[in-house]
Amino acid sequence: MTNPLSGWTLDRNAIDFCGEGLARSESVVAGRDGTLWAADGRGGFTEIAPDGTQRRIAPADSRAPTGDGRSLLGNAGTPVPNGFCVVGDRFVFADIVGGAIVEMDRTGKTRMILDSIDGVPLGSVNFVTTDAQGRLWITVSSRRTPADAAMTPHTRDGFIVLLDDRGPRIVADGFAFTNEARFDARGEWLYVSESCGKRISRLRVAPDGSLTDREIFGPSDLGPGFPDGIAFDAFGNLWCAMIVSERIVAITPDGDALTLFDDGDPHHVQAVEHAFAQGSIPPELSIACAGPVGGLLTSINFGGPDLRTVFLGSLLGSRIPFFRSPVAGLPLAHW
């Protein structure tokens, strides 16, 4: 069967936008009914109804925000969602500022789920997803805080936490800035974006949640930029948002990497790559890489009635870019 992405690239003119006045919409999730939810750097979420109506869902029991939420890590005096998932009528999110996993209902009521293991703080929590059994899988980019302190080519202290009815436990360790993680269609493998490793790794999932047979999926180096958010389509291609280089790449089931979109400025991207090789990335260099479409692309999510509409998250964009895909996405657990 021919891969639907073979020979396909995204035309910039085919990109549209929804939402307005968004702040650090790092992660975007689509609902079956057409509703979109975007993380909000001021704390909480922005909900966009199918008719375009917006409402902000802010934590009801927290301090007032201390900024506009548009810094790279958020600047609110309240839990700041990074990656999140939808579980029933609740959001479960990684609080990138507070270093915790937090649950929030649609009224804004929050409950802290996890901020440590065996008395040790989690660190730079990045993302959380759920599987078909309702278990939570949590990625921690680094034991260092803040998260940008771990953006070096030699730091390998990211890990994955499984939270189930047995409690929380670390099930894999030693990642180069653990970012998003996704399951394949059968739930047999967990795919992990290693931002500072510039690669995607995968691990086999046992029935008890243990992870084995770790290996690199696709190229060992995905090229300019850093893999951030990932999402599967129905054919088995793994789409990846490459932050800084403002690219979208897809890794085919055979492990080949396809460049679907490139909105980066080579001069600014090269400056960040050089700084990274030297051991740190000044925030101003990353900000300069923000492209006109996304504004530092971070995540990919499929939605729409046929799951063929792709929504992009970003750190600095005030709107959500979206476009039509030649192939449907793989539905997430909440779909």
Supply the DSSP string of 198-245, one letter for each residue. TEEEEEEEPTTS-EEEEEEES-S---SSEEEEEEEBTTS-EEEEEETT
- For 209, the token pair is 């949640």
Residue 222 near residue 208, CB atoms below 8 Å: no
Which three-class secondary structure state does DSSP give residue 287? helix
Predicted confidence at residue 146, as pLDDT, reads 82
Q: What are phi and psi of 262, to 5 degrees?
A: -140, 110
> What is the residue type of 173?
D
pLDDT below 50 — which residues of the chain?
none
CB 128 within 8 A of CB 138: yes
Only one residue has tokens 């599967």, namely 232
Closest CA to 277 of 125, 121, 154: 154
Displacement of CA 30 from its chain's centroid (Å): 14
Residue 225's pLDDT is 98
Question: What DSSP character marks residue 109?
Answer: -
> pLDDT tens-digit profile of 130-156?
999 999 999 999 998 888 888 899 999
Q: What is the pLDDT of residue 222?
A: 98
**Structure tokens, 12:** 């910039």
Q: What residues contact 119, with CB distance under 8 A and at least 6 apart?
A: none
Among candidate residues 216, 119, 101, 98, the one with its CA nearest the CA of residue 161:
101
Q: pLDDT at position 79, please?
A: 86
Q: What is the pLDDT of residues 251-266, one digit of tens each?
A: 999 999 999 999 999 9
**What is the per-residue pLDDT for 72?**
73
Whole-number pLDDT of residue 97: 85
How many CA atoms within 13 Å lie on the side-chain side of 98? 20
| Burial class (CB within 10 angstroms; exposed 0-12, middle 13-18, buried 19+) of 160 | buried
In this prediction the pTM is 0.95
Residue type, 271: A
pLDDT at 134: 95
Can you read off the two tokens belonging to residue 239?
Answer: 């789409």
Distance CA 265, CA 298 (A): 17
Q: Please, which residues bridge with residue 50 across strands?
A: none
Task: Give the pLDDT of residue 91.
Answer: 97
Which of 86, 16, 75, 8 lies closest to 47 in space, CA to CA? 86
Q: What angle (nearest 5°) sits at the alpha carbon of residue 53, between those of residues 47 and 57? A: 30
Q: Say if residues 132 and 333 touch (Cβ distance below 8 Å).
A: yes
Bridge-partner residues for 239, per DSSP? 231, 250
Tell me 269's DSSP state: H
Amino acid in position 94 = A
The CA distance from 170 to 161, in Å, is 4
pLDDT at 76: 55
Check if the beta carbon of residue 285 is closer than 8 Å to that of residue 72: no
